[in-house]
Amino acid sequence: MSGASHPPSGGVSYLTVDEEHAGRRIDNFLGRILKGVPKVRVYRMLRRGEVRVNGGRVGQDYRLEAGDRIRIPPHRQNLGSTGPAKPSAGLQAVLRQNVLLESDALLILDKPAGLPVHGGSGVAFGVIEALRSMRPDLGYLELAHRLDRDTSGCLVLAKQPRTLRALHELFRGDGVEKRYRLLAAGRWDVHERLVAESLRKNVALSGERMVQVTEEGKLARTVFTALELFPDATLMEARLLTGRTHQIRVHAAHAGHPLAGDAKYGDADFNRRLRALGLQRLFLHAASVCLQLPGQGHVAVEAPLPEALSEVLERLRAGQGLPASGG
C-alpha cells in the first residue's frame, strides 16, 4: 500500500491499494489502518460517503482492488491512556484454548457462542479484534467467512492476503465442506433432505434484520440429515451448499422444524420447554470444516459440541422429556 500506513488525523488523506491488500473488505481495511478510530465511526464514514474509492461511494462489503485510490476523511483518533477496548484475560484464555489449527497461512478457531466475529453496532470488539489484540506478532489476520453471534464452532481466518483470496474463491464455489449440528423441533425422520429455497434479507417493522424465503431472493441450498430422534425434537446434521445469512435457521423453520433456542425464527413454546432442560442459547454449532488449500493440502478440522449443548442431549437421552406444551 502506497501512501501513509496510518493516515494522520485532522485532514483528508489518500491511499493507493497495492497487490498485498487487494481482496480485503474496505471496512476491515479501514479498521486496521485507522488505529484508535471506533468501529462505529468507520461504518458511519462509509454510510455517509465520506470514504471514497476512485472518487465514488462504496458499501462496507466492497473488496479492494490493486490500484484503488482511497480518500480518507478527516478523523480523530481515540488513543487515550486506556487505549482501545481489549478482551478480558478470561476471554483471551478461552480463545487461546479454542485454537483448533494454526499454520503459516491460516488459523481455525472454535468460536464461542455469544461472541460476534467482529465489533460494531455497539459491540467494542469481536473475534477478529480480540485476536489481533492478543497476537500483535501477526501482521495480517482477516476473517475468511462469518458465523452468527449465537453460533459456535469452526471459524476460518487467513494470515496472508493470498490465503484470504484463495479461501474466498473456495467459499464462493464448492471448495469448502461445512457441517453443522443442530437440535430441531419435532421428529424430523429424514435420511437426507435437500432444502433449496431462495432467501432474501429483509427488515421487519421493528427494524430487526430478518431473512425470508422468497422467489426473488438468492438461491440457497442446505442438506439436512437426522442423527438422533427424541419424542419432541431431532438432533440433525446440516451441510451447507451455499452460504447465505441465517440459511440453516430459515430453511429449518420453513421445513416446519425450527431450531431450539432460536428467538428470531423459532417456536416460542418449544424454546420455553427446552429452557427447562437447561438450554440457554441457540442450538447451532459449526462442527467441522474441510477444504483443499493450495500450498496447505487437505485441511479437515472438527470442533467438539460445547458442554452446554451436550448436557441438553444427555438429559433427552436419559428420558428427561420436555415439559408439556403450554405447561
Domain boundaries of the chain, sorted by first residue? 13-72, 89-158, 175-317
- pLDDT of the residue at 16: 80
pLDDT of residue 42: 87
What pLDDT does 80 receive?
45
Looking at residue 125, its pLDDT comes to: 78
Q: How many CB atoms lie within 10 A of CB 42?
A: 23
Residue 4 confidence (pLDDT): 41
Pull the grid cell for residue 243: 452460504
Angle at 32 between CA 202 and CA 114, to 5 degrees: 50
Q: What is the pLDDT of residue 7?
A: 54
CATH fold of 89-158: Alpha-Beta Plaits (3.30.70)
Known catalytic residue at 137: no
Q: What are phi and psi of 269, to 5 degrees?
A: -70, -45
pLDDT in tens, the chain (327 residues): 544 444 554 567 888 887 767 788 898 888 877 867 888 888 888 999 999 999 899 998 899 888 888 988 887 655 444 445 678 889 999 999 999 999 999 999 999 999 999 876 556 778 998 999 898 888 889 999 999 999 999 999 999 988 999 999 898 888 899 999 999 999 998 889 999 999 998 867 566 778 999 998 999 999 999 999 999 999 999 999 998 989 999 999 999 999 999 999 999 999 999 999 999 999 999 999 999 988 788 999 999 999 999 999 999 999 877 777 765
Q: How far apart, in whole angstroms, are the C-alpha atoms of residue 209 and residue 73?
A: 29
What confidence score (pLDDT) does residue 78 get? 53
Distance CA 59, CA 43 (A): 9
What does the alpha-carbon distance between residue 217 and residue 211 come to, in Å, rounded to a whole number?
9
Give this prediction's pTM.
0.76
The CATH code of domain 13-72 reads: 3.10.290.10
Q: Per the structure block, which three cell numbers stand in for 150?
A: 449465537
For 175-317, CATH gives 3.30.2350.10
Q: Using CB atoms within 10 A of its CB, is residue 109 exposed (0-12), middle (13-18) or buried (19+)? A: buried
Catalytic residue among 148, 150, 262, 267: 148
Model pLDDT, residue 108: 97
